[in-house]
Each structure stands twice: as C-alpha cells, then as structure tokens.
Structure 1
Amino acid sequence: MIKLPLSFGAALAISLCCSSSIPLPRAKSATKSLFLPYSSPPCPSAIATDLLSVLGSKNDASAVDKMEATRIWSCLRFLVPFSTEILKIRSDPRSNRFHAEDSGFSRGRMEIRRRSLREEDERIRWPPEPVMELARLAVDSGGDPAAIQAALDPAVLKIPDVEGLEEDKCQLTRTPYGRRFINEGLNAYLAFLFELISDRSPMIGLNINLSRYDLFHGHIFLAPDTGRLGILFHAREYPAYEKNIFPINMGYCQRGSCLAYDDSMNLRNILWLAPLPCNRTKGWLAPGVLVALDAHPGGIIYDCLVPEYVNYVRTIYEDDLGYNVADVNYFNIADTPSSRRIFIC
C-alpha cells in the first residue's frame, strides 16, 4: 500500500491540462537511480531526444548508445506493432480479447477481425493523406507550431457540458472554447486515435475509458530536431480520492471519480508519432508509431522523464518531447459523429 502525505495534495497536478486549480511551475530536475550500471546522460532532454530517435529513422536509431537504447526499449509497450511484420495479438498472455475460444468467434469472424486489426495497424503506420500532408508540413516548416495552428478552422466552438462538468464546476480544457481542423479527415483521424487507444489498451494490461476522469486529452507537439509531428496522450487523469491509496485532492474535476489508483498509472503516458518525412526528398524515413511509455520506478522513462514532484502519478510533459502546438480533447457526446467530438484548445 502506497501512502502519500496529505500536504502534497495541493501541490500535485497530473498534467498541464487546466482544471479548477492553478498548475505549479515545472520542476527543473528529475529523479535518477543511484545504482545505474553506467553514467546516465542528462535528464530529461537527452532521453527525450533519444526516445524519439529509437522510434525514428534507422540512422537516428543507430546513433543512440546501445545500452541506453536497450533501457528505452524495455519501457516501450506497443499498441501497434513497431515492426512491419504483423505480430499475433492473440499470443499476448496479458490479453484474451481476441481469443476465439473465449469470445465464441467462428473462424470466419476471427479472420475478419484479424483483417480489421491489420487495417488499423496500417492506419497508424501510414495514415490517410491529410495526416501525411500535415506531417510533411510540420517538417517542411522547420518544426514551427504556427504552421500546424494555421490548419485550424477559425470558428470557435463552446466546450460542451458532458459528464456533469458544469454541475461539478469543472473546466477540463485550457479555455472554455475550442476549434477543429479545417480538413474533416484530420478531425476524424484524431478521434480514431483516441478510440483505438481505448480499444487496444487491454493488450498491455490497461483498461482505458474515454471519460473525463481517464482519457480525454492529448498534447500535440513537434520534435525539436526533426519537426516530427506527435501527440502525448494522458490517461488516468483524475483517480478517485482514497484516504489510504490516493489521498490527493485534485479539485472540482475529481468529483465523482471511481477510477482506482494502481500500477496501471505506469502506462498513462501514450505516444503517437506521425510518419517521418525526408526533408530532402518526397520519401519517408519512418512509419507512424503508437506506444505506451512504461514509467515504472527504476526504468529510464521514470528516472529521466517524470519530474520528481509528480512521480506519484507518473506524468511526462509534452514540452520535454518538443514544441507545444495545442491540446486535443475528445468528449463523449451522445449521438455525435466521432470527428465532432474533437475540440482543440
């Protein structure tokens, strides 16, 4: 049983996404293990860069120190297989969602499901054209957030009152209004990412709900060295207050939460990377990626990317990965197409 002094409650915020409380300044240092087998590099910027490199082009990946790359790989839990070879989901002992013997699927229906999984994998590795164009724009602009922001529709949208937000006096977003991309295909793809993360989370021992307490937002960023487009999603946003397990009062937005604090917090940071275009040709250097960053204590992700003052909730911040563009939010609005559930702030 983990206990935390109550005095830390007011000082602890799970992410930079605004709520009714005022976020504290970022800590300048992160915790390090005292018993590493080699001298660890500066944290967190060097590890963030190397994390993106091992998920990037072959040349970038090969430039990362082998021991460090091994430690990074040990903390990656892929929601979509990183290799071009399709891995067999049903071989994962942590998930029986797709076992024919458990689900009652016929062989024909299982084949349809496998085909659907392969198609979903390919939508991550090689997304639809509007996403590919946005990814290339990000690189061609030199990683300028304004280039991505210019693709947003100027129309202002009021953040909807869902799941009792107004009654609880909870503001989940940075502003009380949001926007969407002009291209509807981009909005639809963002909704696809939220829904795929929720659908596949049991594969890695995590059951994510698309709700105001769990997964509802991500942070769009551009990698500083390459301009690569990415989103850092934060699940497990508002665990329930529990005196002996999670004695932290997080304000109005925590009201009504039944989300248990447990080891699944280690996997709350989920990273999507768009395919990486070559800045000299029309070719592509790396496919898209969807992976949970395992921030278990003792791992390199925890040691170097989780600031000490939020290590209890395992928060990784998007500005350690790149330049912040905007927040993207997904709200469960009944009888509404998925693309209309997206609000960018």
Structure 2
Amino acid sequence: MRCLSPLKLATLVGLSVSFSLSYSLSLSTSFLPHPTKNGLLRVFSDGDSGPYKIAGDLLSILGSKEEAARVSKKEAKELRSCLKFLVPLCPREKEHDYDKLEGRRDLGQIKGWRDADEMVWWPPLPVMELARLAVESGGDPGAIHRTLNPTMIPVPDVEGCKKNHCELTRTDYGRRFINKELNLYIAFLFDTIVARGPSVGFNVSLNRYDLFHGHLFLATNTGRLGILFHAKEYPAYEKKVFPYNMGYCQKGSYVRYDESMNMRNILWLAPMPSNITRSPPKWSAPGTLVVLDAHPSGIIYGDLIPDYAKDARTIYEEYFGDIVVDVNYFNVGNVAAEEKLFIC
C-alpha cells in the first residue's frame, strides 16, 4: 500500500496508527522535500541537537581520523557500542591513493570473505567514481540522477503483491544505473547483508516482507555517498506481540516481531575522498557496512529514533543527509542479479 502522507502526521495520531506510518513511510521519505543551506549541502552547527546531530556524529566516527576526533569521547563510545560490523573495520592509515590499492577487485573475482571485505572497503572503480562525484558535486542529488539510465522498467509482481493490492514502490517503474557494475555492486550489498547477518546474530532474508529496499543519500556537510537499508519491513500481525495492521503489504507475512527488530537498520558508506582536485583522488576513509543496533538501552534507540517509531525501530534516512533515490532489490525468481534491481 502506498503511503504519501508526511512523516509529521505520525505525531498527530494514536500509537497504533503512528507505528504503522513509521513503518510504511520508511519507503516514502526519499521523495519528501529536503531544504538546503549554504549551497547544495545542508550544514548543521555544533549547537544542533537531536537525531540529525547524532546521525552526523555517527557518520563522523565512521569517517576520517580528523572527523572522528570532533565527536566527544563519551558519545563516540556510546555510538560504537551500538555498531555491529558486517565487514570488519579497515585499518585507518594516512590518505590512500586508490590506484595503488592492492585490495581492488572486480565483482566477478570475489572468492571468499576476505575478497568481499575488500570489496566493501575499496569498491570497483565505477563505485569509487560515483563516491567522488557525490562529494565533488557538493552533495547534489542531481549529479547522481544523471548517472541513471533514462529507460523506465516496469516493476514486476513481487511474490504475489498484485493479488494482495500491495505496492512496494512509490512508482510503477524503476530505473538502473547506466554503468552495469554499479547495479551489480548494489546487488552485492544486499546479498552481503543476508550472508553476513548471522555473524552478528541477525537472520535476514531477501523478500518483500523483510529486506528489499534501501535509501541512497548524500551526507550532510560532506556529501559522502551512503545507503540506509531497512530490513524486517512488514512483520506479521500477532495479537499479543505485534497487534498492528499495516495494510495490504503485511498480508501473508511470516516475519516475526522479536529482538532482531533492533537490527533492522543497516548502513553502507562509500569510501570518502579527501582531495577531489587531485587525479587520482586521495581517500581519507574506506567503505563500511554496519548494523545499527537499536537496543533499548543504547544511544541509537534513545536519540536517533523518534518516539513514534521506537516500537518499529525505524531510523529515518533523512537524518543522514539529502535523499537521492530508493534502491529496491526484489526476489523475482531465477534472473540475473542486475535484473532484480529497481531504482525509484
């Protein structure tokens, strides 16, 4: 079921309705307006508080040493206690010259976990170029939009959605990147989340009730490229455990509402360029793929999730920056990975 109401409506209704909105609107925030200041990038001062500041500080501790040093030790410790890395942290060194990185591999050359680790730290050249473009453009979503193929591809009937009158995307069509390796890399990220989830106690599946979408954003202040993935999107209705009716798309769900909901938000960050005027550019931080653990005693639950979304454990992508597109990866049978991707 499409939901087009602004997020703020959730604060005006009762708990059950606000809970439902907080879930279903995780699919729609990417097309809400995002005002900017100081040019294309939104810039928040040190006096800013609330979820936007916490999200910015989270990005900082996953950035360069200089960025991480700006976050207080107390807050940094609290944030790190809520991070469950699907790919180990790449040791921070001085700026990297990408053309000299030994870890670079093509997606077709991945043979084991170490290769996959390196593919997250230092992705293929087209992904690095997209990351550079994001920063070089000043965080302009239009720069990313222009890398998309204009061909509109009809969204298929995903696991019986049409029978249930369920619409998982905001449009009936999707697009893909012109560069095929970018499409394959996003598919790789979805597959890696599923494969690595059990290593941090998080079982997730690629299906229309669980993991099928993420929100690509350009970070506030820096323009760093990232994706916030949402898993456990439509838990099954259970009178005692999850007594919330979420509409057509919930019908038939077999996703249980349990403690694994704490880990439904997964963050990917592309490598961060530090000198975009140099060719090839230098890089101050590697890529990362991490689960944001929203357990009730942690800072993410307390300060990054609004009250109306705490049961849903939904972190909103707009807290991290300007939203560019939604990336959807559907379980549509035995087709090539690229053909499962629909960018809306």
CA distance in 1, matches of 2:228, 2:127: 16
Q: Could you list the per-position Cα deviations for residues 291-310 of structure 1 after superposition, in whole angstroms to 9, with x for gaps in the alignment?
A: 00011112111111101101
Q: How does 1:178-257 map to 2 (within 5 A)?
A: 178-257=174-253
SS in 1 for 2:268: strand
Give 1:11 deviation, angstroms.
2.6
Alignment-derived partner of residue 153 in structure 2: 157
SS in 2 for 1:193: helix
Q: How does 1:70-219 map to 2 (within 5 A)?
A: 70-84=77-91, 116-219=112-215
Of 4, 7, 16, the residue aligned with 2:25 is 16
Tell me if the contact between 2:295 and 2:301 (Cα under 8 Å) persists in the aligned partners.
yes
Alignment-derived partner of residue 313 in structure 1: 312
Identify the range of structure 1 (273-282 vs 146-155) with the bigger mean alpha-carbon deviation: 273-282
Gaps of 5+ in 2: 1-12, 34-46, 93-109
Q: Could you list the per-position Cα deviations for residues 11-59 of structure 1 after superposition, in whole angstroms to 9, with x for gaps in the alignment?
A: 323152458xx99x99xxxxxxxxxxxxx98211111111000000111
- Give the residue type in structure 2 aligned to 1:311: K
CA distance in 2, matches of 1:164, 1:8: 29
Q: Could you list the per-position Cα deviations for residues 258-278 of structure 1 after superposition, in whole angstroms to 9, with x for gaps in the alignment?
A: 110001000000000000011
Alignment-derived partner of residue 323 in structure 1: 322
Alignment-derived partner of residue 332 in structure 1: 331
**How many residue pairs get matched?**
296
Q: Determine if the alignment matches structure 1 residue 271 to structure 2 residue 270.
A: no
Give 1:83 deviation, angstroms.
3.4
Alignment-derived partner of residue 9 in structure 2: none
CA distance in 2, matches of 1:46, 1:17: 20
Of 59, 68, 90, the residue aligned with 2:66 is 59
Alignment-derived partner of residue 303 in structure 1: 302
Give 1:115 deviation, angstroms.
6.2
Tell me if the contact between 1:271 and 1:290 (Cα under 8 Å) persists in the aligned partners.
yes
CA distance in 1, matches of 2:267, 2:59: 10
Give the TM-score of the pair, scaled to structure 2: 0.82
Tell me if the contact between 1:272 and 1:291 (Cα under 8 Å) persists in the aligned partners.
yes
CA distance in 2, matches of 1:295, 1:246: 18
Tell me if the contact between 1:9 and 1:250 (Cα under 8 Å) persists in the aligned partners.
no
SS in 2 for 1:233: strand
Tell me if the contact between 1:218 and 1:231 (Cα under 8 Å) persists in the aligned partners.
yes
Tell me if the contact between 2:18 and 2:309 (Cα under 8 Å) persists in the aligned partners.
no
* RMSD (Å) for aligned C-alpha atoms: 2.2
Q: Determine if the alignment matches structure 1 residue 44 to structure 2 residue 38.
A: no
Q: Could you list the per-position Cα deviations for residues 71-110 of structure 1 after superposition, in whole angstroms to 9, with x for gaps in the alignment?
A: 000000000001339xxxxxxxxxxxxxxxxxxxxxxxxx
Give the TM-score of the pair, scaled to structure 1: 0.82
Tell me if the contact between 2:292 and 2:300 (Cα under 8 Å) persists in the aligned partners.
yes
Tell me if the contact between 2:90 and 2:286 (Cα under 8 Å) persists in the aligned partners.
no
CA distance in 1, matches of 2:27, 2:72: 37
CA distance in 2, matches of 1:177, 1:276: 31
Tell me if the contact between 1:79 and 1:200 (Cα under 8 Å) persists in the aligned partners.
yes
CA distance in 1, matches of 2:172, 2:18: 24
- Give the residue type in structure 2 aligned to 1:56: G
- Give the residue type in structure 2 aligned to 1:16: L
Gaps of 5+ in 1: 1-5, 27-39, 86-113
Tell me if the contact between 1:17 and 1:173 (Cα under 8 Å) persists in the aligned partners.
no
